[in-house]
């Protein structure tokens, strides 16, 4: 079996280096003997429905609006209905909600997650550490956003904030719904937290994928100690 990893609008959602998440997934899948194909989809292209994992990264406001408009045709909705895994970071996470703010005005989101993003009281910049009950570990990253995300009914958060802000002042970060994962953690998050990569691979593979990579694990542990 080979996994198709779809990297969405890298030219718009690549500002914060989150495209590296695709490389980490492909590398770790390879260590587990699972083949991958990373497909870059420009905002001028049609999003394929047959992906196993879809990746969206962080962006500046103007690029975020453009990306969201290109996705409004519903291709991502079709993939989600089929059970595809989605990892969305920061701007990519915000556009999955019902609405978000960009360039000073409210924008309609894709409505895949029951949440809204409004302007925060400040810009949230710096190291972030969260605890994920789902993974049973702390995760570290870097956040840089102006938006504050409010989760609605039926939507779980991704983690509780230990250091930093995450969704804003609610003490939690991100959201999880089925196979959709959203978070404010840049890093790229999967490079800093390889356990999260393995969770996404397991979901896409339909069976547990546990990669032996002691160096990556060692560095992840080190980062957890440093961010405090
Ligand atoms: N433009 C969004 C905000 O400032 C997202 C920023 C980002 O993706 N880092 O909230």
Whether the pTM exceeds 0.75: the reply is yes
Q: How far is the CA of 80 from the centre of ligand 1 (A)?
A: 23
In ligand 1, which atom is closest to the CA atom of 90? 8
In ligand 1, which atom is closest to the CA atom of 60? 1
Q: How far is the CA of 32 from the centre of ligand 1 (A)?
A: 34
CA–CA dist 175, 72 (Å, integer)? 20
Q: What's residue 112's pLDDT? A: 98
Q: What's residue 182's pLDDT? A: 98
Q: What's residue 43's pLDDT? A: 94
CA–CA dist 143, 47 (Å, integer)? 27
Whose alpha carbon is nearest atom 5 of ligand 1?
91
Q: What's residue 30's pLDDT? A: 96
Q: How far is the CA of 50 from the centre of ligand 1 (A)?
A: 28
Residue 129: name the closest of 121, 138, 119 by CA. 138
Q: How far is the CA of 78 from the centre of ligand 1 (A)?
A: 25
What string of pLDDT tens digits covers the 228 residues of the chain? 799 999 999 999 999 999 999 999 999 999 999 999 999 999 999 999 999 999 999 999 999 999 999 999 888 999 999 999 999 999 999 999 999 999 999 999 999 999 999 999 999 999 999 999 999 999 999 999 999 999 999 999 999 999 999 999 999 999 999 999 999 999 999 999 999 999 999 999 999 998 988 888 899 889 998 888
What amino acid positions are annotated as catalytic residues? 90, 186
Residue 9: name the closest of 45, 62, 35, 36 by CA. 45
CA–CA dist 132, 192 (Å, integer)? 14
Strand order in the sheet with 85-89: 35-41, 2-8, 53-56, 85-89, 180-183, 175-177
Q: What's residue 73's pLDDT? A: 86
In ligand 1, which atom is closest to the CA atom of 117? 10
Q: What's residue 139's pLDDT? A: 97
Beta-carbon contacts of residue 3 (< 8 Å; ≥ 6 apart): 25, 29, 34, 35, 36, 37, 52, 53, 201, 204, 205
Q: What's residue 75's pLDDT? A: 85
CA–CA dist 184, 46 (Å, integer)? 26
Evaluate the omega torsion of the peptide bond into residue 188 and state whether it is cis, within 30 degrees of 0.
yes
Ligand 1 pocket mutation, candidates 90, 123, 143, 149, criterion most atoms within 8 A of CB: 90
Residues in the ligand 1 pocket, defined by CB under 6 Å: 16, 58-61, 64, 90-91, 102, 144-147
Q: What's residue 176's pLDDT? A: 98
CA–CA dist 64, 97 (Å, integer)? 13
């Amino acid at each position: 079996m080979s996994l198709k990893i779809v990297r969405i609008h890298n030219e718009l959602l690549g500002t914060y280096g989150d495209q590296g998440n695709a490389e980490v997934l492909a590398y770790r899948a390879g260590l587990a003997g699972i083949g991958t194909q990373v497909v870059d989809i420009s905002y001028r292209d049609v999003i394929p429905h047959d992906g196993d994992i879809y990746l969206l990264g962080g962006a500046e406001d103007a690029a975020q609006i453009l990306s969201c408009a290109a996705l409004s045709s519903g291709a991502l909705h079709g993939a989600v209905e089929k059970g595809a895994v989605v990892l969305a970071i920061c701007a990519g996470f915000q556009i999955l909600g019902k609405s978000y703010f960009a360039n000073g005005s409210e924008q309609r989101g894709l409505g895949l997650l029951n949440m809204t993003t409004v302007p925060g009281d400040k810009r949230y910049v710096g190291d972030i550490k969260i605890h994920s009950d789902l993974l049973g570990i702390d995760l570290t990253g870097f956040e840089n956003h102006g938006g504050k995300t409010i989760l609605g009914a039926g939507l779980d958060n991704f983690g509780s904030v230990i250091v930093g802000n995450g969704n804003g002042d609610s003490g939690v970060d991100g959201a999880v719904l089925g196979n959709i994962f959203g978070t404010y953690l840049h890093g790229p998050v999967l490079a800093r937290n390889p356990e999260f990569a393995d969770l996404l691979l397991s979901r896409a593979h339909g069976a547990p994928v546990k990669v032996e990579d002691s160096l990556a694990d060692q560095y992840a542990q080190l980062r957890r100690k440093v961010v405090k």
